[in-house]
Structures are given as C-alpha cells and as structure tokens.
Amino acid sequence: MIAVIGLLIGVLAGLFLEPTVPLALQPYLPIAVVAALDAVFGGVRAHFDGIFDDKVFVISFFSNVLIAALIVYLGDQLGVGGQLSTGVVVVLGIRIFSNVAAIRRHVFHA
Amino acid sequence: MSNDAKRRSAQLVVAVLLALLGFAAAAQIRLTHQDGSYAGQRREDLIELLDSLAAAAERTQKQIDELERTRSDLLSSSERREAAVEAAKEQLAVLGILAGTLPAEGPGVTVTITDPRGAVTAASILNGVEELRDAGAEAIEINDRARVVASTAFVERDGVVLIDGHEIRPPYVLDAIGSSHTLSEAVIFPGGLADEVSRLGGEVAVKEAAVVEVGSLHPVDPPEYAQPTDD
C-alpha cells in the first residue's frame, strides 16, 4: 500500500515540479527507467512467489539502473550507442514480459 | 527490531524507490513530449539528420534555381512575343490606312467641287487627287463612298464619273487627311485644281478641319498569284 502511494507521489512530483533533465543524463534516463521497471516487476513477482526481500529489491533496482546506464555509456564511447541501447531495451522488455506473465499466473491462475 | 517494524521499513524503502522511478518516468515522458523529437537523441543520429536535411535543402535549392531559370526564359520569350505583336499591330494600322481597309481620321481638308455645267471630268478629279497626294495626303475618299487607294480607277461612262465602280455625282466632295495647310495650298495654287475647275465653269471650295473622317473602305481580295518572298 505504501509502495503504491510512493509511486503516485513520484509521478505527481514529476508532473507538477516540471524538472529539467540535465543534458548529460538525457541519453541514459529512458534506459534507466526501463531498467528500474524491470526491477519493479521482478520485485512484484518475488512478492507473489513469497520470496520478496527488500534488500534484494534495493540492490537489484540500483544495479539494474547502473548497469543499463553503463552499457549505454560504453556503447556511446564505442560508437554503437544506438544499437546497444536498443539491445538493452529488448532484453529488459523480454524480462518484463516474462515477469508479468508470472504475475498474471499468480493473480488470475491462468 | 521487531518483525513488524522491519516490514514497515522495507515497505518504506520500496515506496521511496518507486517514487524515484515515477519521478524519473514522468520527467522523461515530459521531456519526450515537450522538447520535440530531437531532445535526447544521440549525436550521430542528429548529425545524420542534419546531413540529410542539408542534402534535401541543396536539392530544393537546385530545383528553385532551375524553375527560376525557366521562369525568366518564359518571361523574356513572352516579352519578345508581345513586342512582335505590338509591332505587327502598328504595321497593320499603317498598312490598313494605306490599303484603305481601315477607317481613318485626323486633320485635313474637305474639298468641294461644284459642277453646275457637268463639265468636270474624271480626269479633273484624278488631277485633284494626285495634287492632294503630292501634298502628302495619307487617306482620301470621294463623296464618302469611294476610298482612293493605289489601285483606284477613275472612269467616265455616259458623262457619269465612276470611281472603282461607284457612281459619283456632283458635287464632288474630297476628304483628305494630312497637313491641312499644305493640302489646301495644293488645291488652290495658280494653275492647279481650282483654276482648272473654274475654267470648266465649276467652283472649288476648300475647308480646313482639325478632324476629317475617312470612313469608306476599299475591299481587298487576297492575292491569288503573288506570294511574298522572304527578305
């Protein structure tokens, strides 16, 4: 419950505070958001599996975001930033899909 | 730490992380929608975009140049054509007055020859016409019916004057367009038309006018055998 309220507060703050994203962060923010989403869906799945651990969630959240940003940064340095960020998004998308499928099985038993 | 407190702190951490995620996602969505499609794009993509835009601009500029050239070509050719049409119209007017196919008006004289005795002949009228021509008459008509042109014939049959087939009866009225003073001098000079007619018992009256109308036309058939040659 508190988690959902936190999410709402974050979204509202993002909408009404109108933050400006620093230029240096602009290429990494979308990838970071997708990576964090992956971590969140993984956490929800763990919750339904009854193995949720807040320490694991926090670590996976930050490591996901950092690794995704790192890969994109490395890609930018190597001149393949566009392709690498596409690859990261694809991988994270697949993981999100499989996590959501597991969640769906728990919720709808189907 | 009790189990309850531990759960609450765990939920708090999760809430904070989710708030962070929501904040970042909202910021990113705002950025994507607000700053147009170019903000946050990679440098290589932007450079490629710029290159393609530059190429498109170059192509368009080339097209503009080409179209402008075509336009100026068309303009100059239409100007030339207009000038030619203008010249042709001018020539048409000149030739029309010369050939008697156009009505004309301008300063000139009206020469009235009265002939109570019926002694004035076609030859006398021709004489008068030639004197008017010598004095620079540009268009002449007789009795508002016969336009005098290069091929006009003066004939007399049974005492009636025929000019190009028109029966002309006295009094003979010659309308001539030209310098009115010179024309009237040409009619009344000693030994000229006036003297000749008065010797025959008639009388010549010359009236100078600012506007003389020559309204009769000389029908022209297109030449059947003669063809114009180039230059």
CB contacts, 8 Å: A15 with chain B: 26, 30
Tokens 């989403």 map to which residue? A37
Cα–chain-centroid distance for residue B9? 96
Distance from CA of A91 to the nearest CA of B (A): 19
Reply yes or no on whether the pLDDT at B1 is more than 60.
no
pLDDT on residue B28: 83
SS3 assignment, position A25: coil
Distance from CA of A79 to the nearest CA of B (A): 8
pLDDT on residue B70: 95
Give the C-alpha separation, A59 to A15, whole Å.
Answer: 27
pLDDT on residue B185: 85
* Confidence tier at B29 by pLDDT (50, 70, 90): confident
Given B25, B30, B42, which is nearest A82 (Cβ)?
A: B42
Reply yes or no on whether the pLDDT at B49 is more than 70.
yes
Superfamily of domain B100-214: Protein of unknown function DUF881 (3.30.70.1880)
ipTM: 0.81
DSSP string, A38-100: HHHHHHHHHHHHT---HHHHHHHHHHHHHHHHHHHHHHHHHT-HHHHHHHHHHHHHHHHHHHH
For residue A27, give its domain range. Answer: 23-108
CB contacts, 8 Å: B18 with chain A: 3-4, 6-7, 10, 40
Average pLDDT score over residue span B48-67: 95
Asked if the structure places residue A15 within a domain, the reply is no
Name the nearest CA neighbour of B189 among B117, B134, B119, B110. Answer: B134
pLDDT on residue B36: 60
For chain A, how many structural domains are there in total? 1
Kindly state the tokens that stand for B165.
Answer: 């087939």
Average pLDDT score over residue span B32-45: 69
Reply yes or no on whether the pLDDT at B117 is more than 60.
yes
SS3 assignment, position A21: coil
Give the C-alpha separation, A74 to A66, whole Å.
Answer: 12
Given A1, A5, A14, which is nearest B26 (Cβ)?
A: A14
Give the C-alpha separation, B21 to B116, whole Å.
Answer: 127
B17, B35, B43, B44: best to mutate for the A interface, most A CBs within 10 A = B17
Name the nearest CA neighbour of B108 among B33, B163, B187, B42. Answer: B187
pLDDT on residue A101: 92
Asked if the structure places residue A89 within a domain, the reply is yes
Q: Which of residues 22-41 of B touch A (CB under 8 A)?
A: 22-32, 39-40
Quick check: B12 and A2 CB within 8 A?
A: yes
Give me the half-sphere count of Cα atoms (radius 13 Å) on the Cβ side of residue A8.
Answer: 5
pLDDT on residue B55: 95
| Per-residue pLDDT tens over the stretch B173-204 | 889 998 888 888 888 888 778 888 888 888 88
pLDDT on residue B2: 64
Q: Which residue type does A42 have?
A: G
Asked if the structure places residue A75 within a domain, the reply is yes
SS3 assignment, position A29: helix
pLDDT on residue B22: 86
> For chain B, which residues make up each domain, given as ranges?
100-214
Give the C-alpha separation, B9 to B27, whole Å.
Answer: 27
Q: Is the whole model's pTM more than 0.90, yes or no?
A: no
| Per-residue pLDDT tens over the stretch B71-109 | 999 999 999 999 999 999 999 888 888 888 888 888 999
Q: Are B125 and B154 in contact (CB under 8 A)?
A: yes
Given A3, A18, A40, which is nearest B11 (Cβ)?
A: A3
Residue in B with minimal Cα distance to A21: B27
pLDDT on residue B214: 85
Residues with Cβ within 8 Å of B118's Cβ and at least 6 positions away in sequence, in order, are B159, B170
Reply yes or no on whether the pLDDT at B150 is more than 90.
no
Inter-chain contacts counted by CB atoms under 8 A, chains A and B: 109
Query: DSSP assignment, residue A22?
Result: P
Q: Regarding predicted confidence, which is higher, B17 or A90?
A: A90
Per the document, the length of chain B is 231
Please state, rounded to an integer, the average pLDDT across all residues of chain B. Answer: 85
Distance from CA of B64 to the nearest CA of A (A): 36
Q: pLDDT means per 10 residues in chain A (110 residues)?
A: 80 80 80 90 88 86 91 87 87 93 87
Distance from CA of B8 to the nearest CA of A (A): 9
DSSP string, chain B: --HHHHHHHHHHHHHHHHHHHHHHHHHHHHHHHHSTTTTT--HHHHHHHHHHHHHHHHHHHHHHHHHHHHHHHHHHHHHHHHHHHHHHHHHHHHHHHHHT-S-EEEEEEEEEEE-TTS---HHHHHHHHHHHHHTT-SEEEETTTEEE-TT--EEEETTEEEETTEEE-SSEEEEEES-HHHHHHHHHSTTSHHHHHHHTT-EEEEEEEEEEEE------PPPSS--PPP-
CB contacts, 8 Å: B45 with chain A: 82
Reply yes or no on whether the pLDDT at B35 is more than 70.
no
Beta pairing partners, B112: B173, B205
